[in-house]
Amino acid sequence: MDTNLTGPLLDVQDLSVSFRTDRGIVRAVDGVSFHVDAGETLAIVGESGSGKSVTALSLLRLLDAAGSIDSGRVLFDGENLLDLDARAIRSIRGDRIAMIFQEPMSSLNPVLTIGKQVAEPIRLHRGTPWQDALREAERLLDHSRIPDAPARLKDYPHQFSGGMRQRTMIAMALACRPKLIIADEPTTALDVTVQAQILALLKELTREADSALILITHDLGVVARYADRVAVMYAGRIVETANARDLYGEPRHPYTQGLMASIPGVEGSIGHRLKTIDGQPPDLARLPPGCAFAPRCERATGACREATPALEPAGNGRLAACIRL
């Protein structure tokens, strides 16, 4: 509950989000709490539909009309973002909190030049004249390792490759020196060699700017290399949070263990089948009673199907939501 400036940069408390669908109201995020310290990298990991992207969008209130935030607080520098009026939240978006999306192919407007798009947040938040904003955009692009940035300023997005577009998005996100960057699967659409470059660049530039980073991903390999802390999401809830190294060393929650076991390894992989987690993620409109992971869990007992487990300390500063620990 610490809301003064010595507290965490971002403190999300009991956030719940639901969507109106044809099949009734679906709770996509259910009582999620986590925090991000200044300069820290938090990875939010989970399968598709686990609620990680919805969580990210909710922080800046960017959900579309069908989604609504039912409860919770999003304290950023001690200020609840969910209480702000439209003008106040706009002044934070892109200035103090920036976002990077997963589709670099369509995140840039095809009819505007790269330079104008990178300069846009500077213009919006600082009111800088075009010439100066464009010069700053050039510096940002150069900093994001776009080769020959001055010449590429006048290019259109279709002249850029996927990797270059994502570099552009990074340049745009960093334009106003935000305290927090939310990157929603920033490398999903890119090929593997480019993925590593983009993540390394993102990490380097955020560290340089002393920004915190929320990295949303389904790729545990990414987590291992770039995150300080990890939150694992399953069916709209956080099931385990821990330091990245601890989580790798010793996953506690059965779901996290399942995820770790299903990473293809180098040693001993020949002749062995890759371990998988049986079954499928649950339908959010028809969640099973009790622990949502119970139907797929090897260690589930009758008690697991009765009450939803709460996130509780599981040693070493980590939290896990499992009654079988």
Partner 1 sequence: MSDLAYAPAMTTLAGQRPAVVTFLVRLVREKPLGAVGGAVFLVFLLCGIFADFLAPYGVNETNMAHRLEAPSWDFPLGTDHLGRDVLSRILIGAQLSMIVAFLAAGFATVVSLAIGVVSGYFGGKTDMVVQRGVDAWMTFPDLVLLIVIISVVGPGVVQIVVVLGLLYGIAGSRIVRGAVISVKENMYTHAAQSIGARTWHILIRHIVPNVMPVVIVLFTTRIGAVILTEAGLSFLGLGVPPPAPTWGSMLSGTGRTYMYLGAWLALAPGLCLTIVVYAINVYGDALRDLLDPRMRGSQ
- Summarize as ranges the residues that interact with partner 1 (CB under 8 A): 60, 62, 65, 90-95, 98-99, 101, 103, 105-112, 120-121, 124-125, 155-159, 169, 172
For the chain, the maximum distance between any two Cα atoms, rounded to a whole number of angstroms, is: 67
We find the least distance from the C-beta atom of residue 291 to partner 1, in angstroms, to be: 33
Residue 283, both tokens: 């339908």
**Residue closer to partner 1 (CB basis): 60 or 292:** 60
We find the least distance from the C-beta atom of residue 236 to partner 1, in angstroms, to be: 21
Rounded alpha-carbon distances, angstroms, from residue 119 to 102, 113, 141, 156, 170: 21, 10, 10, 14, 12
Q: Are 35 and 10 in contact (CB under 8 A)?
A: yes
**Residue closer to partner 1 (CB basis): 29 or 294:** 29
**Residue closer to partner 1 (CB basis): 47 or 120:** 120
We find the least distance from the C-beta atom of residue 89 to partner 1, in angstroms, to be: 8
Separation CA 139–CA 151 (nearest Å): 12
The sheet that has 10-21: what strands, in order across it? 24-36, 10-21, 67-76, 79-80
What residues contact 32, with CB distance under 8 A and at least 6 apart? 12, 14, 15, 16, 51, 55, 72, 233, 236, 237, 238
We find the least distance from the C-beta atom of residue 64 to partner 1, in angstroms, to be: 9
We find the least distance from the C-beta atom of residue 95 to partner 1, in angstroms, to be: 6
**Residue closer to partner 1 (CB basis): 156 or 248:** 156
We find the least distance from the C-beta atom of residue 219 to partner 1, in angstroms, to be: 20
**Residue closer to partner 1 (CB basis): 88 or 310:** 88
Separation CA 27–CA 169 (nearest Å): 30
Enclosing H/E stretch for 133: helix 130-143
- Choose among 207, 46, 209: nearest CA to 54: 46
**Residue closer to partner 1 (CB basis): 83 or 312:** 83
We find the least distance from the C-beta atom of residue 38 to partner 1, in angstroms, to be: 21
Angle between helices 162-174 and 130-143 (to 10 degrees): 120
Rounded alpha-carbon distances, angstroms, from residue 252 to 43, 265, 279: 17, 20, 20
